[in-house]
């Protein structure tokens, strides 16, 4: 038995390597910068019944956890009897995939010696899916783009060219989108080849034994963590900007035997704009928050996720049903972990961080030749999507991370990659001093970013921001982070969400939000304040008035920093 357990542990580790290679193959072959540069994707392996066995480390919780249930939908829709070697299946159904039409999920059945043994699945965000474009402006999902029901993309090795023609005819960037679809299929094939090699090496005829080992041990380890906690119930609440009106998020978290319950009853109703969240995405991020706090080192699979039970009444903004608009479901979804942590802080003191920026600071620029005057022949249409981050909240024993996406985990796109994607210019991108909330542990800094269209172009700027009116809140006496600020370079105020026009020669000036502080600012170590001042993270004014640093000390730090620059 011991020898079998050791062998199964080796196989489990190999499986995680397989799906990570699967994810890296997608990054290498993808066309969209959101996949290649930001890592907005997920990849996983499932047993024959659709239970997730392993997921790649690379990926976002919105894809990673939401995709956990996806294969079951494919099995029910297509049926085992219609599955064959060489098949590839596809959908972007928000309620059976990962929450909005821009995420395409591809599933490939894995056959070994002619027998179905499991499935590979992967998801990626594509730059465009037609409709009104990537933004919150739609009033129903029908306006948000092309819907691909669960269907065969490839049947026994033959590509569904009708489907590919439909996709090309309905999106603004056909080469990128179709290229990404093929990249998704390819990454599943990479995973499939590696799994076949593993099964041959270990003499496996199927995955039943290793699946049982993974799921049983994951379940036992997760329950051990949960049952080590004191039972209790606590409520959390957060108010965020919304589209036209503020949105209230409410949650009740209950720690009990063998499970943690998380209920979002009392949250605002479905919004009339595209910031609503399908339940699958709510489950993904609420579960992620709980898992980070309680069992962060246990690998993600069906069994390690199962003890975290997430619920919300239908018709609330966190359980929006068809045909609610859902394109920017991440706007609300990324706020759910901090809402859960508002409750969890009362149950598990000194465990969870202060609030951070939460929602990604994304925007999409739809560029075209200028229309107020004759545009140069080189001017062209393009869609440029860029992922950016505000600051993360301070932790109970550490400062918050600067310009870091929590909870999404995606990477900030480099300026060079963004400018390469289309005729857009990033004029400024730097950390935003004083944006991190003060505290014993300081919140992470947000960023400044100025963006405009290249010569000869105008643009529609689709804003996808929050924290304009409700900045990140401090915890245990820590101060709030700085809010989001958006405006044109002539001072015209921009809305936090929605498509807005940028004329030729104009720039959009963005200040991304900071994370909140943890603990009283008066308890911050003097040396940490001086280091922040030296690095430019805080101003002399904040060092003096908020942290109480003496004028002479401030002058000494600034003088030393100036000498260092000169050297």
CB 442 within 8 A of CB 400: yes
Of 318, 348, 338, 448, nearest to 394 by C-alpha is 338
Crossing angle of the two packed helices 161-170 and 174-202, in degrees rounded to 10 = 140
Instruction: Specify the number of domains making up the chain.
Output: 2
For the stretch 30-59, pLDDT in tens is 988 888 888 888 999 999 999 999 998 888
Spatial distance between the Cα atoms of 242 and 444, rounded to a whole number of angstroms: 23
Contact of 159 with 100, CB cutoff 8 Å: no
User: Does 227 reside within a domain?
Assistant: no
**Residue 239 resides in a domain:** no
End-to-end CA distance of the chain: 65
Measure the CA–CA gap between 410 and 388, rounded to whole angstroms: 9
H-helix or E-strand spanning residue 421: helix 415-421
CB atoms within 10 A of CB 531: 13
Q: Is residue 263 part of a domain?
A: no
CA gap 222, 303 in Å, rounded? 8
Quick check: is 565 in a domain? no
What pLDDT, on a 0 to 100 scale, did the predictor assign at position 566? 58
Pick from 287, 340, 359: nearest CA to 55: 287
pLDDT in tens, 257-289: 999 999 999 999 999 999 999 999 999 999 999
In a domain, 540, yes or no: no
- C-alpha–C-alpha distance, residues 491 and 302, integer Å: 50
Sign of CA dihedral 125, 130, 133, 138: negative
Q: What is the pLDDT of residue 1?
A: 42
Q: What is the mean pLDDT of residues 2-29?
A: 90
Q: Say what the pLDDT of residue 38 is.
A: 82
Domain boundary among 159, 193, 219: 219
Average pLDDT over residues 511-515: 98
pLDDT digits (tens, 9 = 90+) for 423-456: 999 999 999 999 999 999 999 999 999 999 999 9
Residue span of the structural domain in which 510 resides: 353-524
Integer CA distances (angstroms), 401 to 51, 69, 335, 395, in order: 35, 31, 17, 9
> Is residue 567's pLDDT more than 60?
no
- Cβ(22)–Cβ(190) under 8 Å? yes
Domain end, chosen from 174, 197, 219, is at 219
Residue 18 and residue 194 in contact, taking contact as beta carbons nearer than 8 Å: yes
Give the model's confidence band at 220: pLDDT under 50 very low, under 70 low, under 90 confident, else very high. Answer: very high
Does a structural domain hold residue 280?
no
- Contact criterion met (CB below 8 Å) for 471 and 357: no
In a domain, 254, yes or no: no
The model's confidence at residue 405, banded by pLDDT at 50, 70 and 90, is confident
Q: Is the pLDDT of residue 496 over 70?
A: yes
Percent of the chain residues topping a pLDDT of 90: 91
Q: Tell me 137's DSSP state.
A: -
Whether residue 152 contacts residue 89, with contact meaning beta carbons closer than 8 Å, is answered with yes
**Whether the predicted pLDDT of 2 surpasses 90:** no
- pTM for the model stands at 0.95
251 assigned to some structural domain: no
CA distance 18 to 12: 10
- Give the pLDDT confidence of 515-532 residue by residue, as tens digits: 999 999 999 999 999 999
Mean pLDDT within 60-87 = 92
Query: Can you say whether residue 131 is alpha, beta or left, with left for phi > 0 and alpha for psi between -120 and 50 degrees?
Result: left
Q: What is the pLDDT of residue 336?
A: 98
Angle at 220 between CA 217 and CA 224, to 5 degrees: 140
Contacts of 163-167 with CB under 8 Å at 24 or more apart are 163/90
**Which pLDDT tens digit goes with each residue over 293-310?**
999 999 999 999 999 999
Looking at residue 63, its pLDDT comes to 81
Residues 249-256 have a mean pLDDT of 98
Place of tokens 């018709």: 315
Mean pLDDT lowest among 31-40, 74-83, 316-325, 420-429: 31-40
pLDDT at 164 over 70: yes
Q: Which residue has the tokens 């489950």?
A: 283
What is the overall mean pLDDT for the chain?
Answer: 95
């Amino acid at each position: 038995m011991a020898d079998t357990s050791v062998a199964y542990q080796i196989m489990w580790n190999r499986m995680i390597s397989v799906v990570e290679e699967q994810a890296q193959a997608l990054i290498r072959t993808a066309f969209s910068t959101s996949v290649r540069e930001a890592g907005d994707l997920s990849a996983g392996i499932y047993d024959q019944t659709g239970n997730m066995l392993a997921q790649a480390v690379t990926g976002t919780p919105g894809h990673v956890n939401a995709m956990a249930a996806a294969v079951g939908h494919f099995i029910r829709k297509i049926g085992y009897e219609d599955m064959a070697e060489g098949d590839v299946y596809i959908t972007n159904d928000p309620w059976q995939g990962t929450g909005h039409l821009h995420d395409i999920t591809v599933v490939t059945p894995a056959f070994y010696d002619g027998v179905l043994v499991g499935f590979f699945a992967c998801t990626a965000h594509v730059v465009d899916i037609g409709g009104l474009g990537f933004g919150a402006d739609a009033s129903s999902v029908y306006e948000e783009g092309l819907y691909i029901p669960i269907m065969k993309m490839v049947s026994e090795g033959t590509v569904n060219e009708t489907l590919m023609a439909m996709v090309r005819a309905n999106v603004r960037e056909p080469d990128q989108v179709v290229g990404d679809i093929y990249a998704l299929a390819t990454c599943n094939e990479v995973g499939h080849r590696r799994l076949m090699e593993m099964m041959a090496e270990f003499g496996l005829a199927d995955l039943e034994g290793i699946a049982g080992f993974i799921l049983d041990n994951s379940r036992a380890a997760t329950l051990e963590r949960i049952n080590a906690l004191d039972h209790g119930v606590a409520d959390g609440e957060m108010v965020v900007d919304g589209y036209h009106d503020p949105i209230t998020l409410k949650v009740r978290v209950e720690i009990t035997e063998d499970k943690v319950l998380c209920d979002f009853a009392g949250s605002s109703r479905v919004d009339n704009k595209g910031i609503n969240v399908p339940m699958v995405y709510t489950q993904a991020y609420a579960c992620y928050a709980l898992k980070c706090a309680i069992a962060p080192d246990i690998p993600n699979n069906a069994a390690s996720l199962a003890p975290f039970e997430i619920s919300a009444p239908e018709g609330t903004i966190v359980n929006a049903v068809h045909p609610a608009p859902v394109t920017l479901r991440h706007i609300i979804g990324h706020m759910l972990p901090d809402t859960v942590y508002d409750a969890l802080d009362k149950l598990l003191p000194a465990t969870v961080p202060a609030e951070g920026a939460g929602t990604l600071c994304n925007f999409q620029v739809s560029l075209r030749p200028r229309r107020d005057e004759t545009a140069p022949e080189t001017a062209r249409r393009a869609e440029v999507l860029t992922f950016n981050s505000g600051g993360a909240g301070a932790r109970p024993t550490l400062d918050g991370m600067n310009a870091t996406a929590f909870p999404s985990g995606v990477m900030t796109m480099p300026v060079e990659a963004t400018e390469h994607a289309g005729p857009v210019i990033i004029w400024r991108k730097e950390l935003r001093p004083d944006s991190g909330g003060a505290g014993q542990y300081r919140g992470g800094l947000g960023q400044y970013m100025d963006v405009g269209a290249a010569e000869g172009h105008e643009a529609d700027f689709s804003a996808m921001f929050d924290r304009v009116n409700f900045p990140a809140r401090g915890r245990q006496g820590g101060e709030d982070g700085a809010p989001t600020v958006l405006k044109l370079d002539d001072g015209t105020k921009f809305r936090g969400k929605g498509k807005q026009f940028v004329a030729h020669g104009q720039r959009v000036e963005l200040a991304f939000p900071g994370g909140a502080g943890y603990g009283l600012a008066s308890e911050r170590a003097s040396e940490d304040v001086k280091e922040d001042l030296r690095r430019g993270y805080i101003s002399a004014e904040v060092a003096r008035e908020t942290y109480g640093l003496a004028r002479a000390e401030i002058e000494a730090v600034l003088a030393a920093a100036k000498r260092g620059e000169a050297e």
